[in-house]
Amino acid sequence: MKAGLQAYVDRINAGDADGVTALFAPDATIEDPVGSPIKHGPEIAAWFRDTVAFNTRIYPAAPIRGSHGAEAALAFDVEFTPPGARRMRIRSVDVCTFDEQGRITSLRGFWGPSDMEVIPDEA
pLDDT by residue (tens digit) across 12-64?
Answer: 999 999 999 999 999 999 999 999 999 999 999 999 999 999 999 999 999 99
CA-to-CA dists, residue 117 to 1, 55, 111, angstroms: 29, 16, 12
Q: What CA–CA distance (Å, rounded) separates 59 from 50?
A: 18
Q: Domains in the chain, please, with CATH?
A: 2-118 (3.10.450.50)
Torsion of CA 112, 26, 8, 29, to 10 degrees: 10
The DSSP symbol for 1 reads -
Element housing 107 (H / E)? strand 104-110
pTM equals: 0.94
Query: What is the average per-residue pLDDT within 97-119?
Result: 97
**Which one of 8, 16, 50, 94 is the catalytic residue?**
8
Catalytic residue, chosen from 10, 32, 59, 115, is: 32
Q: How far is CA 72 from the centre of its chain?
A: 13
Q: Is residue 59 annotated as part of the catalytic site, yes or no?
A: no
